[in-house]
Amino acid sequence: MTISGVTTPRRLLLVNGPNLNLLGTREPEIYGTATLQDVERITTDAALARGFEVRAVQSNHEGVLIDAIHAAREDCAGIVINPGGLTHTSVVLRDALAGVALPVAEVHISDVRTREQFRHFSYVADVAIVHVVGEGVAGYARSVDLLVDALTGHAEG
Ligand code: CA2
Protein backbone atom coordinates (compact mmCIF):
# COMPACT_ATOMS: atom_id res chain seq x y z
CA MET A 1 0.00 0.00 0.00
CA THR A 2 1.34 3.43 -0.85
CA ILE A 3 0.41 6.49 1.20
CA SER A 4 1.86 9.84 0.06
CA GLY A 5 4.41 8.07 -2.07
CA VAL A 6 5.62 5.88 0.82
CA THR A 7 5.02 2.12 0.73
CA THR A 8 3.65 0.91 4.06
CA PRO A 9 3.30 -2.70 5.20
CA ARG A 10 -0.08 -4.38 5.24
CA ARG A 11 0.19 -5.34 8.89
CA LEU A 12 -1.41 -4.02 12.09
CA LEU A 13 -0.10 -4.36 15.63
CA LEU A 14 -2.75 -5.43 18.15
CA VAL A 15 -1.83 -4.48 21.72
CA ASN A 16 -3.73 -5.69 24.77
CA GLY A 17 -2.60 -4.33 28.12
CA PRO A 18 -2.48 -5.63 31.67
CA ASN A 19 -5.03 -8.16 32.89
CA LEU A 20 -6.67 -8.66 29.50
CA ASN A 21 -5.21 -12.19 29.56
CA LEU A 22 -7.96 -12.80 32.16
CA LEU A 23 -10.77 -12.15 29.67
CA GLY A 24 -13.41 -14.84 29.79
CA THR A 25 -12.41 -16.01 33.26
CA ARG A 26 -13.98 -13.33 35.50
CA GLU A 27 -16.37 -10.36 35.47
CA PRO A 28 -18.43 -11.59 32.47
CA GLU A 29 -21.10 -8.99 33.32
CA ILE A 30 -18.57 -6.29 32.39
CA TYR A 31 -16.29 -7.92 29.82
CA GLY A 32 -18.38 -10.80 28.42
CA THR A 33 -17.22 -14.38 28.03
CA ALA A 34 -14.83 -14.16 25.08
CA THR A 35 -11.20 -14.94 25.79
CA LEU A 36 -8.06 -13.08 24.73
CA GLN A 37 -7.60 -15.77 22.08
CA ASP A 38 -11.08 -14.94 20.76
CA VAL A 39 -10.19 -11.23 20.68
CA GLU A 40 -7.03 -11.94 18.72
CA ARG A 41 -8.96 -14.10 16.24
CA ILE A 42 -11.77 -11.53 15.83
CA THR A 43 -9.19 -8.82 15.19
CA THR A 44 -7.15 -10.96 12.80
CA ASP A 45 -10.25 -12.03 10.83
CA ALA A 46 -11.41 -8.41 10.50
CA ALA A 47 -7.96 -7.34 9.35
CA LEU A 48 -7.58 -10.22 6.87
CA ALA A 49 -10.96 -9.29 5.38
CA ARG A 50 -9.40 -5.89 4.60
CA GLY A 51 -6.11 -7.35 3.38
CA PHE A 52 -4.03 -6.81 6.53
CA GLU A 53 -2.16 -9.25 8.77
CA VAL A 54 -2.08 -8.81 12.55
CA ARG A 55 0.75 -9.20 15.02
CA ALA A 56 -0.73 -9.55 18.50
CA VAL A 57 0.90 -8.80 21.84
CA GLN A 58 -0.57 -8.91 25.32
CA SER A 59 1.50 -8.16 28.38
CA ASN A 60 1.11 -7.25 32.01
CA HIS A 61 4.39 -5.31 31.79
CA GLU A 62 4.40 -1.75 30.52
CA GLY A 63 7.94 -2.00 29.10
CA VAL A 64 7.06 -5.03 26.99
CA LEU A 65 4.16 -3.10 25.46
CA ILE A 66 6.37 -0.10 24.78
CA ASP A 67 9.04 -2.25 23.10
CA ALA A 68 6.34 -3.81 20.89
CA ILE A 69 5.01 -0.35 19.96
CA HIS A 70 8.53 0.86 19.09
CA ALA A 71 9.13 -2.26 16.95
CA ALA A 72 5.91 -1.57 15.03
CA ARG A 73 7.66 1.39 13.40
CA GLU A 74 9.60 -1.11 11.30
CA ASP A 75 6.80 -3.16 9.80
CA CYS A 76 3.28 -2.06 10.78
CA ALA A 77 0.88 0.42 9.20
CA GLY A 78 -1.11 1.10 12.37
CA ILE A 79 -1.88 0.03 15.92
CA VAL A 80 -5.08 -1.23 17.55
CA ILE A 81 -4.71 -0.93 21.30
CA ASN A 82 -6.71 -1.71 24.39
CA PRO A 83 -4.33 -0.41 27.04
CA GLY A 84 -6.43 -1.84 29.90
CA GLY A 85 -5.92 0.08 33.14
CA LEU A 86 -2.84 1.82 31.69
CA THR A 87 -5.34 3.91 29.72
CA HIS A 88 -5.98 5.93 32.84
CA THR A 89 -2.47 6.08 34.29
CA SER A 90 0.29 5.88 31.71
CA VAL A 91 2.05 8.91 30.27
CA VAL A 92 4.79 6.47 29.23
CA LEU A 93 2.47 4.43 27.03
CA ARG A 94 1.02 7.59 25.52
CA ASP A 95 4.54 8.88 24.77
CA ALA A 96 5.42 5.60 23.03
CA LEU A 97 2.34 5.82 20.81
CA ALA A 98 2.98 9.47 20.02
CA GLY A 99 6.65 8.69 19.40
CA VAL A 100 6.12 6.09 16.70
CA ALA A 101 3.64 8.35 14.91
CA LEU A 102 1.58 5.47 13.49
CA PRO A 103 -2.22 5.78 13.27
CA VAL A 104 -3.77 4.39 16.46
CA ALA A 105 -7.20 2.93 17.24
CA GLU A 106 -8.10 2.89 20.96
CA VAL A 107 -10.63 0.23 21.89
CA HIS A 108 -12.34 -0.60 25.18
CA ILE A 109 -14.62 -3.58 25.67
CA SER A 110 -16.69 -1.91 28.38
CA ASP A 111 -18.21 1.55 28.21
CA VAL A 112 -15.61 3.43 30.24
CA ARG A 113 -17.71 6.61 29.96
CA THR A 114 -20.43 5.16 32.20
CA ARG A 115 -18.18 3.41 34.73
CA GLU A 116 -16.21 4.84 37.67
CA GLN A 117 -14.98 8.44 37.30
CA PHE A 118 -11.32 7.33 37.21
CA ARG A 119 -12.01 5.47 33.96
CA HIS A 120 -13.33 8.57 32.18
CA PHE A 121 -9.90 10.00 31.42
CA SER A 122 -7.62 8.39 28.83
CA TYR A 123 -3.98 9.37 28.32
CA VAL A 124 -4.19 7.65 24.93
CA ALA A 125 -7.33 9.31 23.56
CA ASP A 126 -5.74 12.29 21.90
CA VAL A 127 -2.99 10.30 20.21
CA ALA A 128 -5.60 7.93 18.70
CA ILE A 129 -7.57 8.69 15.54
CA VAL A 130 -10.20 5.98 16.18
CA HIS A 131 -12.09 5.44 19.46
CA VAL A 132 -14.42 2.50 20.05
CA VAL A 133 -15.88 1.93 23.51
CA GLY A 134 -18.58 -0.25 24.98
CA GLU A 135 -19.16 -2.54 22.01
CA GLY A 136 -17.77 -5.66 23.67
CA VAL A 137 -15.13 -7.65 21.83
CA ALA A 138 -16.86 -6.84 18.50
CA GLY A 139 -15.39 -3.38 19.04
CA TYR A 140 -12.00 -4.74 17.99
CA ALA A 141 -13.36 -5.60 14.53
CA ARG A 142 -14.92 -2.15 14.21
CA SER A 143 -11.63 -0.56 15.29
CA VAL A 144 -9.84 -2.44 12.53
CA ASP A 145 -12.40 -1.31 9.96
CA LEU A 146 -12.22 2.34 11.00
CA LEU A 147 -8.42 2.28 11.17
CA VAL A 148 -8.10 0.64 7.74
CA ASP A 149 -10.62 3.16 6.38
CA ALA A 150 -8.34 5.92 7.63
CA LEU A 151 -5.21 4.22 6.28
CA THR A 152 -6.69 3.70 2.84
CA GLY A 153 -8.50 7.02 2.59
CA HIS A 154 -11.88 5.32 2.49
CA ALA A 155 -14.66 7.93 2.88
CA GLU A 156 -17.80 7.15 4.87
CA GLY A 157 -21.22 7.08 3.26
O1 CA2 B 1 -13.15 -1.99 28.91
C2 CA2 B 1 -11.97 -2.18 28.66
O3 CA2 B 1 -11.59 -2.77 27.65
C4 CA2 B 1 -10.89 -1.73 29.67
O5 CA2 B 1 -9.78 -1.26 28.93
C6 CA2 B 1 -10.52 -2.96 30.48
C7 CA2 B 1 -9.56 -2.64 31.63
C8 CA2 B 1 -10.05 -1.48 32.46
O9 CA2 B 1 -9.08 -1.13 33.43
C10 CA2 B 1 -10.35 -0.26 31.61
O11 CA2 B 1 -10.86 0.76 32.44
C12 CA2 B 1 -11.38 -0.61 30.55
C13 CA2 B 1 -9.42 -3.86 32.55
C14 CA2 B 1 -8.88 -5.07 31.86
C15 CA2 B 1 -9.01 -6.24 32.81
O16 CA2 B 1 -9.80 -7.21 32.19
C17 CA2 B 1 -10.29 -8.23 32.95
C18 CA2 B 1 -11.08 -9.11 32.28
C19 CA2 B 1 -11.62 -10.16 32.95
C20 CA2 B 1 -11.37 -10.34 34.30
C21 CA2 B 1 -10.57 -9.44 34.95
C22 CA2 B 1 -10.01 -8.39 34.27
For the stretch 70-118, pLDDT in tens is 999 999 999 999 999 999 999 999 999 999 999 999 999 999 999 999 9
Q: 95-132 burial by CB neighbour count: b if 16+ within 10 A, else e?
A: ebbeebebbbbbbbbbebeeeeeebeebbbeebbebbb
| pTM as predicted | 0.95
Say if ligand 1 is within 6 A of residue 90 CB: no
In a domain, 143, yes or no: yes
The CATH number that applies at residue 147 is 3.40.50.9100
Distance 125 CA to ligand 1 centre (A): 16
Backbone phi and psi for residue 103, each to the nearest 5 degrees, phi listed first: -65, 135
- CA of 20, closest atom in ligand 1: 16
Distance 73 CA to ligand 1 centre (A): 26
The residue among 42, 41, 56 whose CA lies nearest residue 11 is 56
pLDDT per residue as tens digits for the range 16-47: 999 999 999 999 999 999 999 999 999 999 99
In a domain, 38, yes or no: yes
In a domain, 157, yes or no: no
Q: Whose CA is nearest to atom 9 of ligand 1?
A: 85
Number of domains in the chain: 1
- Residue 6 is predicted with a pLDDT of 57
In a domain, 92, yes or no: yes
In a domain, 68, yes or no: yes
Task: Determine the structural domain holding residue 125 and report its residue range.
Answer: 2-152
